[in-house]
Each structure stands twice: as structure tokens, then as C-alpha cells.
A = this chain, B = another copy of it.
Amino acid sequence: MRVVITGGGGFLGQRVARALLARGGLAAEPGAAASLDELVLLDQAFPAGGVADPRVRQVSGDIGDSALLKRVFAPPTDAVFHLAAVVSAGAEADFDLGYRVNLDASRLVFEACRQQPRPPRLVFTSSVAAFGGTLPEVVTDATAATPQSSYGTQKVLGELLVADYTRKGYVDGRTVRLPTIVVRPGKPNRAASGFMSNILREPLNGEPAICPLLPDAKMWILSPERAVDALVRAMEIPADAWGWNRTLNAPGITVSVSEALSALEKVAGRECVARVRFERDAAIEKIVLGWPAHFTTARADRLGFKADGGIEEVIRAHMRAMAR
């Protein structure tokens, strides 16, 4: 089978690529794994020392370039992970860029799927940024999407398009609303959500970190390992199990800044935590505190999606991954 990952040079895309290569394929029909023949990674840039495998083809370019997409989505393409996006603070800072990538380019991807001889499976990543405004205490599977950022809006637009293209039989789409991924490796990106990763990752690297929110600020989080599991699971679950509703709130855990720092202290000691300095940033605070931190995810739980066991487990998994 031929699989495309947009945003394939990004941190999540690279991990999904590695997971697919290690598995050697994807369950295309219930129980039957089809073997991976070609894995196309599309992104603007790729990390040095990225995924190396004869089955992998890296394509560098602009996802908004329809001629490029035509080559990337050469038929038959069987499965697509559409992860490419301008992140939250970026889409808020540049309205037109956000719409160009997160809406217009997504539409090009969905149209490329529609042109395939058979409707490919497609996994699209959405976000807790789908929610905002006046929210119930706990967000459930029935809570209305009321995004309060351009990024969140663009993600919900994508969800709706995935659902409609799926209903029409143009694609077999599945949207997963991911919690904030913690601990994100590498350098901070423009995602407003990045701070929770920063205040864990940087001190573990012996570096200082700034926390732009107060200690009682809470986030709904998922580790990179669990996020990759969720995306692969979303791809492999049969269409019947998804049913008509193709948008899913993935499970996560609720973690406050102070809980995260306590766990960091337990795992790495007091001098490590002392590298975190609090310095409020109203712009980041406004975006992050607008996202819900408490969820019930009954549907995802039934479908076998899993959250992490706690923030301490998340930190230890990050340390193990970094040590490899």
C-alpha cells in the first residue's frame, strides 16, 4: 500500500512514519494488515537525520501547490495522515496564511483523495482548540465546537469537510481531536500550547524555561507516544466502527502547571525545577486558558483509545525517548 503523511517532516509526522515502518503496514480491512510499499512524506523541510528507509520518499514543498500535490497523491494512494498545519499562534498572527494552509490546502488534500480510484482512508488531526467561549465544566462527546482562535476555527472547518467528503464516499475520513502533546521534543514552535512542554523539556536539558501561565493553569494533554498510537488506531478502526460521526475527542489527562512541576521535581530533583521562571504572557494565557482542560471521552474509550497514566509517566517516557 501507498501512504502519504502531510507534515511528514514535523515531530508527529516523523513519529508516525517510524511507527508505520516498524509495523510494516496498516490494517486496511478488519484484521488484515496490508504491507507498506511506499511512504511519502510531504513537508516544507525535513530534520537532519530523519527517517531513513528505502520505502520512504521525502517531498519538500508547499502543500498549497496543487501541481505538487498531484505528484504526491499519485494514484493509487491508500491512506493519508493529514497532519500539516500552521499552528495556533502562527494562524492567529497571520490570518491569511492560516486560512491558506489550514483550510485551502486541506481542501486540496481532500480533493486529491477524491481523485483516487478507491476512496483512501484519511486521518486528520484536530485539536482542543475546537472548543472555546463559555464551556460546560467538562467537555463531552456532545459538546458543540465553538473555537475562539483562527487555528481552532480552521481545524473545525477541516473536521466538517472530512465528514462531508466521507458522507459522499469521496474519502474514508477520521478526525482525531488531540489534546496538547506533552512533552514535545526539540525547540519551541509557534503553538501557544508549547509552554507545558518547554517547562519540562528545557529544565531536563539543563536549560532555563519561562512559564507564561500561573501555577494553577491546567491543560488537557497526551504524550507523543500515545498520540501516535491514537492516529494509527484512528486509521485502522473499520469504517463501521466509526459510523456517521467522523470526529472524535481523544482521551488525555488533565494536568496543572504545579502538578507538572511537582512531578518534574520528583523525577529530576529540585535544582531541575528551579530552572523554571514564571513570567506571565497575556497573549499566550488568553489562548491556552480558552481551551478546555477537563473532558470525558466515552466514545474514544469504547473504541480503545488510551490516555497516559499520569504526568510522571509522561515525563519518564520522554526521558527514556531522549536517552535512546
Contacts and interface: CB of A to CB of B under 8 A. Distances in A.
Contact of A144 (B145, B147, B148, B153): B145
Contacts of A157: 157, 160-161
Interface stretch (A120-128, A163-171, A172-180, A306-314): A163-171
Nearest to A150: B164
Contacts of A244: 133-134, 148
Nearest to A156: B160
A245 B146 contact: yes
A95 interface: yes
B145 A153 contact: no
Contacts of A168: 95, 150
B142 A153 contact: no
A143 interface: yes
Contacts of A245: 133-134, 146
A147 B160 contact: yes
A22 to B, nearest CB: 36
Interface residues of A, number: 23
Contacts of A146: 163, 245
Interface string A128-152: 0000011010000011111110100
Interface centre among A95, A136, A156, A164 (most CB of B within 10 A): A164
Interface string A13-34: 0000000000000000000000
A239 B133 CA distance: 16
Nearest to A133: B244
Nearest to A141: B144
A160 B153 CA distance: 6
Nearest to A107: B99
A79 B148 CA distance: 24
Contacts of A147: 160, 163-164
A95 B161 CA distance: 12
A241 to B, nearest CB: 15
Contacts of A143: 142, 144
Contacts of A153: 160-161, 163-164
10 contacts: A133-B244, A133-B245, A136-B142, A143-B144, A147-B160, A147-B164, A153-B164, A156-B160, A157-B157, A157-B160
Interface of A: 95, 133-134, 136, 142-148, 150, 153, 156-157, 160-161, 163-164, 167-168, 244-245
Given A146-B163, A148-B167, A153-B161, 14 more contacts: A133-B245, A134-B244, A136-B142, A142-B143, A142-B144, A143-B144, A147-B160, A147-B163, A150-B164, A150-B168, A153-B160, A156-B160, A157-B160, A157-B161
**10 nearest CB pairs, A to B:** A144-B144, A153-B164, A133-B244, A153-B160, A150-B164, A157-B157, A156-B160, A157-B160, A142-B144, A133-B245
